Amino acid sequence: MKNILHFRAAFLLFVSLFAFGSSAQAQEFKTQGKGKGALVYKSQYKECITGELTGLAQCVDMTQETYVVTPSGNETSVWKGTAPAALRPAKTLVKDATWQEAGKTYTTHSTTTPSGEVSVTLHYKANGKGGKGKG
């Protein structure tokens, strides 16, 4: 029961953060599946992801493909999009960074290919292990 309440609180916080963003659009969450206690949601949420996370000169319109929350409170969010031709790198661009939001520090990993495919993964470790945790 404690894990369910923890998950609901984390989930509602995450949804509310994006629901009130300047580029927020309606969301559709569907339970995708369970694996080792983690809940996986498929999303159609869109956001202009900042160049601070992608390494590109400006934000890129991206769609949140997956959002996962584990019973321990760890969160993973995967975003996909296509960079405009003017922003595409000559060779694959990889950027690792951190992102702080709502008192949490997320580790991020972004890849942009010469064809323009952009992928950004944000991860939050609720237990504080691994160097990047509660912020």
pLDDT in tens, 20-76: 333 333 333 444 454 557 778 777 789 999 999 999 999 999 999 999 998 899 999
Q: What are phi and psi of 92, to 5 degrees?
A: -55, 130
Total-model pTM: 0.67
Residue entry with tokens 């944000």: 122
Q: Who contacts 122 (Cβ-Cβ below 8 Å, separation ≥6)?
A: 53, 75, 76, 77, 79, 99, 106, 107, 108
